C-alpha cells in the first residue's frame, strides 16, 4: 500500500524544485508543526472501561488556525493523519482561505459501538485535546464516520470545559447549533464549479461516479441537472450501470431501502468504463499503476482525497487525461466550513444564496489560477495546485 504521507512529501519536494523554493521553507512544509497523541478511557455500555487512542496532527498555521476533519475508523494511523493534515494546509491555501491545515482521528469501530458509547468516546477525546483546539487554534470538522451530531457533542463538551458556549470550535454542526446553510452540498457544488471551468459544455457528457455517499450523490444530482448522463455509480458493496443514464434520486432511494446501489441495474467495473467524466469519490489509492492502463475517461474529478497514486498520475498526464485534483476539487467543503466559522465568530447567519455566491466565486477564480499555472509550467493540474498553494504559504515566511 502506498504511504500517503510519503507521496505528499514527494509532491512538495517536486514543487519546491520547480519554483526554486528556499530549502528552509521546504523543510517547514514537510514537517507538521505539532503532533498530539492521546490515550483515554471510555466507559462502555456493559460497564467495561476501554482504552482508546486518538491523534490530532497540526501541520501548518502560517495562514490561520489549523483546520481539518476528524475521523473515527479502525484503520486510523499517524502517517495517514499526517498526510491528510498536510493536504489540508495545501487545500486551504489553494482556495486562499485564512486557515491552516490539521487532521485528527480515533482508532475505533463505530459500526460496533452504540450511540451512547460513541458520545462517551467523543466527549473523552474532546477533553483529551481541549487545550489544543479552539476557534483561534484548531477547528475540527466531520470526516469518515463522524457527522453533525458528533460535532455538536464536541461543542457541548468544549463549552462545558470553558464555562461558556463556543460554537466556533468545530464546523459541520447542525443548523440549529451554529451550522451553515449549504454545508451538506458544499463539496459536490465546489467540484461542479471546478469542472465547469475545465469543461465548458456538460450537456450529454457520460459520467461514472465511484462512491455514492454525500459528496458522490450530490455531485451526481448536480451533473444530472446540468444535462449529463450518469451512466454508472458504485458503492462499497456493488455498482449500478445503464448506458441510457441513471436518475440519482431514484438510485439514492433504492440505496436507502437496500443498503447499496447493487441490484438497481447491471453491474460494471466503474473505473474501466468508457466515459467523458470519471469521479472517484470513495477512498485513497483507487487508481494505481496496476489499473491505470484500463482507464478510458477524458476527465477525472477527484472528489475523494488521494484517489490516484503518483505513478498513476504520471501515466494519466502522458495519456492526455485531464485530472482535476482533490486539493482543488473537494475544497468546497472546507471553504463553506470557513464561512461557518466566520459566521460563528461574527454571530451572523448567511443566506444560502450568499454562501453559494461566495463559494462559486472562490472555486472558479482559484480554478482559473491553477489552470493558468499548469500551462505556464507545463505540469499537470495537481502540481499546478500545489505550486499555487506553496507560493501562498511561503509568502507568510518571507514577511
Torsion of CA 189, 382, 57, 365, to 10 degrees: -40
| CB neighbour class for 183 (10 Å; exposed up to 12, middle 13-18, buried from 19) | buried
HSE-CB for 216 with a 13 A CA cutoff: 25
Element (H, E) at 209: strand 206-210
Q: How far apart are CA 211 and CA 313, in angstroms?
A: 20
Beta strands across the sheet bearing 101-107: 34-43, 49-60, 101-107, 66-73, 138-142
Q: Are 52 and 73 in contact (CB under 8 A)?
A: no
Crossing angle of helices 352-377 and 186-198, rounded to 10°:
40
**Nearest Cα residue to 339 out of 330, 329, 349:** 349
* Residue 46: strand, helix, or coil: coil
* Residue 203: strand, helix, or coil: coil
- Cα first-last separation, the chain: 40
| CB neighbour class for 260 (10 Å; exposed up to 12, middle 13-18, buried from 19) | middle
Q: How far apart are CA 226 and CA 216, in angstroms?
A: 15
Task: Report residue 113 as a C-alpha cell.
Answer: 459501538
- Which of the residues 103, 173, 255, 265 is marked catalytic? 103
210 has which bridge partners? 234, 280
Q: Are 258 and 280 in contact (CB under 8 A)?
A: no
Q: How far apart are CA 287 and CA 294, in angstroms?
A: 10
Crossing angle of helices 78-94 and 4-18, rounded to 10°:
40
Q: How far apart are CA 1 and CA 46, in angstroms?
A: 37
The reply to whether 262 belongs to the active site is no
Q: Which residues are catalytic?
A: 103
Amino acid at each position: 500500500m502506498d504511504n500517503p504521507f510519503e507521496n505528499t512529501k514527494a509532491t512538495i519536494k517536486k514543487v519546491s524544485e520547480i519554483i526554486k523554493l528556499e530549502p528552509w521553507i521546504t523543510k517547514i512544509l514537510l514537517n507538521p508543526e505539532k503532533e498530539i497523541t492521546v490515550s483515554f478511557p471510555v466507559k462502555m455500555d456493559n460497564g467495561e472501561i476501554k482504552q482508546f487512542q486518538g491523534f490530532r496532527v497540526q501541520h501548518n498555521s502560517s495562514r490561520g488556525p489549523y483546520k481539518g476533519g476528524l475521523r473515527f475508523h479502525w484503520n486510523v494511523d499517524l502517517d495517514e493523519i499526517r498526510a491528510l493534515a498536510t493536504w489540508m494546509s495545501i487545500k486551504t491555501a489553494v482556495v486562499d482561505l485564512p486557515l491552516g491545515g490539521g487532521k485528527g482521528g480515533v482508532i475505533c469501530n463505530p459500526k460496533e459501538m452504540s450511540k451512547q458509547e460513541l458520545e462517551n468516546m467523543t466527549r473523552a477525546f474532546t477533553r483529551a485535546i481541549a487545550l489544543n483546539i479552539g476557534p483561534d487554534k484548531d477547528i475540527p470538522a466531520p470526516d469518515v464516520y463522524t457527522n453533525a451530531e458528533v460535532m455538536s457533542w464536541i461543542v457541548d463538551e468544549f463549552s462545558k470545559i470553558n464555562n461558556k458556549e463556543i460554537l466556533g470550535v468545530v464546523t459541520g454542526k447542525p443548523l440549529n447549533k451554529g451550522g451553515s446553510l449549504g454545508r451538506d452540498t458544499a463539496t459536490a457544488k465546489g467540484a461542479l464549479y471546478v469542472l465547469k471551468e475545465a469543461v465548458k459544455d456538460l450537456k450529454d457528457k457520460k459520467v461514472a461516479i465511484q462512491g455514492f455517499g454525500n459528496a458522490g450523490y450530490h455531485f451526481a444530482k448536480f451533473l444530472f441537472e446540468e444535462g449529463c448522463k450518469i451512466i454508472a455509480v458504485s458503492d462499497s458493496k456493488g455498482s449500478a450501470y445503464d448506458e441510457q443514464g441513471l436518475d440519482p434520486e431514484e438510485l439514492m432511494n433504492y440505496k436507502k431501502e437496500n443498503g447499496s446501489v447493487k441490484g438497481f441495474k447491471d453491474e460494471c467495473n466503474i473505473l474501466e468504463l468508457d466515459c467523458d467524466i470519471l469521479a472517484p469519490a470513495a477512498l485513497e489509492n483507487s487508481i494505481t499503476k496496476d489499473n491505470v492502463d484500463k482507464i478510458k475517461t477524458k476527465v477525472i474529478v477527484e472528489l475523494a482525497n488521494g484517489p490516484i497514486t503518483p505513478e498513476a498520475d504520471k501515466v494519466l498526464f502522458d495519456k492526455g487525461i485531464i485530472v482535476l485534483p482533490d486539493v482543488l476539487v473537494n475544497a468546497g467543503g472546507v471553504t463553506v466550513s470557513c464561512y461557518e466559522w466566520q459566521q460563528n465568530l461574527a454571530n451572523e447567519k448567511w443566506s444560502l444564496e450568499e454562501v453559494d455566491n461566495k463559494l462559486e466565486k472562490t472555486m472558479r477564480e482559484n480554478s482559473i489560477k491553477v489552470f493558468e499555472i499548469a500551462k505556464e509550467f507545463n505540469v499537470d493540474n495537481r502540481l499546478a495546485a500545489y505550486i499555487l498553494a506553496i507560493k501562498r504559504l511561503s509568502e507568510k515566511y518571507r514577511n
